[in-house]
Amino acid sequence: MGGFHIYYRSLAPSPYDLRVLGQQQWRPGSRAALHVGVYNRSSGQRLPGVPVRIALWNGSTGHSQVLARFDTARGDGAQSFTVPNWRDGEYELHVSSRVGIHRQEIARPLKLRREWKLMLSSDKPVYQVKKPVVRSKEAISPVSQ
30 falls within a domain? yes
99 falls within a domain? yes
CA neighbours within 13 Å on the CB side: how many for 66?
Answer: 6
> Which pLDDT band holds residue 4 (cuts at 50, 70, 90)?
low
* Contact between 78 and 35 (Cβ < 8 Å): yes
| Local structure of 41: helix, strand or coil | coil
CATH number of the domain at 45, please: 2.60.40.1930
Residue 54's pLDDT is what?
Answer: 95
Which amino acid belongs to residue 101? I
DSSP 74: S
User: What backbone phi and psi angles, to 5 degrees, belong to 52?
Assistant: -130, 145
pLDDT in tens, 22-33: 999 999 999 999
133 falls within a domain? no
121 falls within a domain? no
72 falls within a domain? yes
DSSP 23: -
pLDDT in tens, 40-88: 988 989 999 999 999 999 988 999 999 999 988 888 888 999 999 999 9
Percentage of residues of the chain with pLDDT beyond 70: 74
141 falls within a domain? no
Domain span including residue 86: 2-115
Rounded Cα–Cα distance for residues 91 and 43 (Å)? 34
Least confident range from 32-41, 47-56, 131-140: namely 131-140
For the chain, the domain total comes to 1
130 falls within a domain? no
* Contact between 119 and 138 (Cβ < 8 Å): yes
User: Does the pTM of the predicted model rise above 0.85?
Assistant: no
